[in-house]
Chains A and B, each alone.
Chain A
């Protein structure tokens, strides 16, 4: 059986997604089914300039990094290379938040920098005609498992339910908060004041964006063992269209009220609930868990 041919094209990028992909544990098995015509790190038969100057075979075009009409690779504007291969390929996958929404590199200094179809949460019309064949995977970086499962779904012609940003709902229909082991602390509004500690939720003071960022970080763990929030570090919202918000470790508040509330929760609902739970002090959540259990 012939392998699915992939071209991984890096635009304005740090190559973080290409590196993250290398953490996929069953990479050898993956390469039994897929073949990189070109990948910036994995050895392949063709060079980047071969890709840019020739029309090579390609089933799925993977685009990493933000896109600007000013940006060139091998002396050719990247948008020309994208357009050529977009028409050769059956599917296009935007790999990472920069390729999807502009991400960190929308601040790169190149003019008109955009994601393939979106600038943050607004549509970008540069590649409008390609929308029907695109699947977006956001993340800074992407989770390798999410990318690989999406590629297998495309290979097997499975129908993917996509959200308004063309992301598979299987991975983006719920928040990063879903599955966080600190939910007890979230419910009773106890923040964590020491990064890396086992106790506390970081939504209230420490900038955690998990309750309003969609993504699978706490359901499909990183390196199969952990996530930022499980480890005691706030979610930076790297899968969100608004990424980066920059103030990563502080919760933006207006007179003590968080500016960004859990996804879909109205301000009155949130404040009413918050008023009730804040009135109660649960001793178990005030102490570190080892001391508390020793005293019981």
Chain B
């Protein structure tokens, strides 16, 4: 009798427990959601960079991913929101690469060369990252003016360039000057070279310019 009663009581409770999400399930779900979110960012990044920002629609992105438009909107409320998340995403990836260089115990001259190398490598292996910055972020300021004021969406990358310059001045390798004078020279130069490369104008492979360009930047910025 007691056994029967136990079964009677426990069965529904056990069912109820098994239907509840466990902590493990919950974490798995979060991981899946984060992975899905990142795959949307990566696909949109490719499409925006290759086909242009205005020519790419949310249904295009959803189609490429094999997901419904409605579901994609569960992740990003609009194309503009997605565009802003992509610039943060690319800026953080580039920022992390430069951070790893900044943390090394090497001279600023060597750091500049390492950054140029990384930037050109990225332009070759993941051209969409640099293309997005040049052809979407810089060319469609109206999309980014609300929510990406100033440098807020590229702070991951900007912070590391600031640290590079600050340490360069502190160790007396670089000349103290207005930050943007130096920043424009550095990034404008790299962006220009990647643009020329993208247009197939450069006679040599981009990697072959690393030594000259690193030296030019260092000479221009050094004491």
Residues of A within 8 A of B (CB): 253-257, 259, 267-268, 271-272, 275-276, 278-280
Contact = CB atoms under 8 A, between A and B. Distances in A.
Interface stretch (B9-17, B72-80, B109-117, B176-184): B176-184
B163 A254 contact: no
Nearest to A280: B149
B151 A255 contact: no
Interface in B125-159: 149-152, 155-156, 158-159
Contacts of A278: 150-151
Contacts of B156: 272
Nearest to A276: B152
Contact of B150 (A253, A259, A275): A275
A276 B180 CA distance: 16
Contact of A255 (B99, B155, B158, B169): B169
Contacts of A255: 162, 165-166, 169, 174, 176-179, 182
A271 B98 CA distance: 15
A267 B179 contact: no
Contact of A275 (B152, B166, B177): B152
Given A255-B178, A279-B152, A267 B158 contact: no
Contact of B151 (A254, A259, A279): A279
Contacts of A257: 162, 165-166, 179
Contacts, number: 56
B62 to A, nearest CB: 32
B7 interface: no
A272 B152 CA distance: 8
Max chain B C-beta neighbours (<10 A), residue from A256, A257, A259, A278: A256
A275 B152 CA distance: 6
B107 interface: no
A280 B151 CA distance: 10
B170 interface: yes
B159 A272 contact: yes
A252 to B, nearest CB: 10
A268 B151 CA distance: 15
A255 B178 CA distance: 5
B149 A254 contact: no
- Chain A CB count within 10 A is highest, among B149, B155, B177, B178, for B155
Contacts of B176: 253-255
Contacts of A253: 176
A255 B165 CA distance: 7
A275 B165 contact: no
B170 A276 contact: no
11 contacts: A254-B168, A255-B178, A256-B178, A256-B179, A268-B99, A268-B163, A271-B155, A271-B163, A272-B155, A276-B150, A279-B150
Given A254-B169, A271-B162, A280-B150, 13 more contacts: A254-B166, A255-B165, A255-B182, A257-B179, A259-B166, A268-B99, A268-B159, A268-B163, A271-B155, A275-B159, A278-B151, A279-B149, A279-B151
Contacts of A254: 165-166, 168-170, 176
Q: Which of A259, A275, A276, A278 has the most CB of B within 10 A?
A: A275
